[in-house]
Amino acid sequence: MRCITLSSLLELSGWPKPGNVHRTKDFDSTRFEHFLAGIASIQPNFRDLCQRIYENSNIKRKNYNYVKLGQFFKEAAREMITWQKGGNVLLGHILIFGPLAAAAAICLKMEKMSIDEFKINLIKIIDDSTVDDTIDLYEAIKICNPGGLGKIEKYDIYDEDSLINIKKDKINLKKIFEISKDYDSISFEYSQGFSIILEVGLPYYFKKFNSTKDINTTTVDTFLKILSEYPDTLIIRKSSLSDALSVSREASEILKYGGISSEIGFKLNEKLDLKLHKQKGIMNPGTTADLLAGVILCALLFGLRF
């Protein structure tokens, strides 16, 4: 629970993560404090999820459908919206942290704490999800009413027949995220075993912290690392692919000069932050921030302290 809380707080307070709300930058209707309220509001939901999974996990269980991620998504989304008036501030954290926290709880119960066991449990949680999880996911998204979702041909969130078709076609979380993986990085993570977080972001986070011993520099530079290699899908949907690629190139340029720990890198990063904020949220790399939060959670779970 401490790792979950701290990872959200560290992601939010990373300064200056270009284009995001952070400790010195707000959006017109969404402030830094709205994120703080959202983070505080969902911690009891994470505790309930982890405790329920821990109590119900045992070596004899071959199916992880008891995890009920969808139920958690819906309940956490409702509390997040109820406790602040800045809109959808943390749906990405909820979606990414849910399976990571569930996998950690199972590892703790089984007393198998390796990264390999963690990955096995994580993948199995998603594979064994149910149709009810997908239906609850849709309810959670409707509660949050996030911007920049885009549309899909089948099972679209705005299509009244989607839930009927999801039930008929037995679409669990793995299947629904497979459909949207090409235009949403969170969906890509669900479909690919959280490969960006575990194979790209996490090793970089540990390496950067070991060299700098500075948690804020580590957080911002890891954000830039992910952004440089994976054009932000929220920018793609709200603006365009060309804009997202341009932002990725600028992130890569900052890293080329040593990230924000170098004078040139810091100035370039500040310049990018100002440029993106002028677009009033349209150029916000929000999905990258969500992926970063998952990286920080895994780093803390596997022992990073500062």
Q: What is the pLDDT of residue 44?
A: 98
Q: pLDDT by residue (tens digit) across 28-47?
A: 999 999 999 999 999 999 99
The C-alpha atoms of residue 154 and residue 166 are separated, in whole angstroms, by 9
Residue 238 has pLDDT above 70, yes or no: yes
- Given pLDDT bands bounded at 50, 70 and 90, which one contains residue 150? low
Q: What is the mean pLDDT of residues 256-266?
A: 98
- Given pLDDT bands bounded at 50, 70 and 90, which one contains residue 152? confident
Contact 110, 120 (CB under 8 A): no
Segments making up each domain of the chain, as ranges: 2-301
Q: pLDDT by residue (tens digit) across 68-125?
A: 999 999 999 999 999 999 999 999 999 999 999 999 999 999 999 999 999 999 999 9
Nearest to 18 by CA among 270, 230, 240, 244: 270
The C-alpha atoms of residue 165 and residue 177 are separated, in whole angstroms, by 15
The C-alpha atoms of residue 218 and residue 220 are separated, in whole angstroms, by 6
Q: pLDDT by residue (tens digit) across 240-254?
A: 999 999 999 999 999
Cis preceding linkage at 16, omega within 30:
yes
Q: What is the pLDDT of residue 158?
A: 87
Q: pLDDT by residue (tens digit) across 155-171?
A: 999 898 999 999 999 99
Average pLDDT over the chain reads: 96
Q: What is the pLDDT of residue 260?
A: 98
Beta bridge partners of 22: 25
Contact 22, 13 (CB under 8 A): yes
Residue 151 has pLDDT above 80, yes or no: no
**3-state DSSP call for residue 164?**
helix
Burial 127-150 (b: 16+ CB within 10 A, else e): ebbbbbbbbbbbbbbebbebebbe
Q: What is the mean pLDDT of residues 182-193?
A: 97
- Given pLDDT bands bounded at 50, 70 and 90, which one contains residue 258? very high
